[in-house]
Homo-oligomer: A and B are copies of this chain.
Amino acid sequence: MNDNARFHPDPSLDLVLVRHSQVSPELVWKAWTTPSLLMQWFCPKPWKVSDCKIDLRPGGRFWTVMESPAGEKSPGDACYLEVIENRRLVWTNTLLPGYRPKVLNAAGNGMDIFPFTAVIEIEPNGSGSTYTATVIHADEESRKKHEGMGFEIGWGLAFDQLVELMSTTKSS
């Protein structure tokens, strides 16, 4: 995984969450890449993911619909950039499937309050793994906005849900 040396987060522009857990790399990967599993952990409760489509290949679609307790739906369409099984998953909300540039902030495109790319890295660590989620922003303003919205808590709670879910799931 020399590839991992590739990403050097810029503290002024990027946000990073690092977690160690007893969940194996294979199960973290499975949780990120299986719609029926992702829907159970990806969004901190009481919000939920009410729909998810995954076409797991570079250029493939990563589609989620987040839904508030009141039923307000927030759809998000993204594109996978790198798919390295059990190790690294990269996706961006700046592109639609097939690498098509997205018209950002268009009416009804509520999820795209700012463009970002997410790099999910998973490394074996003892009987579990180390999970690093890096979110790459265009500018400091976007990073601050995301931080202010509670990136650390939100992505942290979601990962706690992943750990809880996958701790009761057997490796396939």
The chain B residue with its CB closest to the CB of A92 is: B99
Interface pick from A66-74, A113-121, A150-158, A163-171: A113-121
- Between A and B, 23 residue pairs with Cβ closer than 8 Å are A13-B100, A58-B58, A58-B81, A58-B82, A81-B81, A81-B99, A90-B99, A92-B95, A92-B101, A94-B94, A95-B95, A98-B136, A99-B119, A100-B117, A100-B136, A101-B116, A101-B117, A101-B136, A101-B137, A101-B138, A101-B142, A102-B138, A103-B139
**Which one of A82, A90, A100 has the greatest number of beta carbons of chain B within 10 Å?**
A100
A94-B94, A94-B95 known; A6+B59 contact, CB < 8 A:
yes
The answer for the CA separation of A11 and B119 in the assembled complex, in Å, is 32
Q: Which of B98, B100, B101, B117 contacts A99 (CB 8 A)?
A: B117
The answer for the CA separation of A102 and B101 in the assembled complex, in Å, is 11
The chain B residue with its CB closest to the CB of A104 is: B104
The answer for the CA separation of A13 and B101 in the assembled complex, in Å, is 11
Interface size class for chain A?
Answer: 20 to 34
Q: Which residues of A contact B (CB under 8 A)?
A: 6-8, 13, 58-59, 81-82, 90, 92, 94-95, 98-103, 115-117, 119, 136-139, 142
Beyond A92-B95, A95-B95, A101-B142, 8 additional contacts (C-beta under 8 Å) are A6-B59, A7-B98, A58-B58, A58-B81, A92-B99, A94-B95, A100-B138, A103-B139
The answer for the CA separation of A82 and B57 in the assembled complex, in Å, is 11
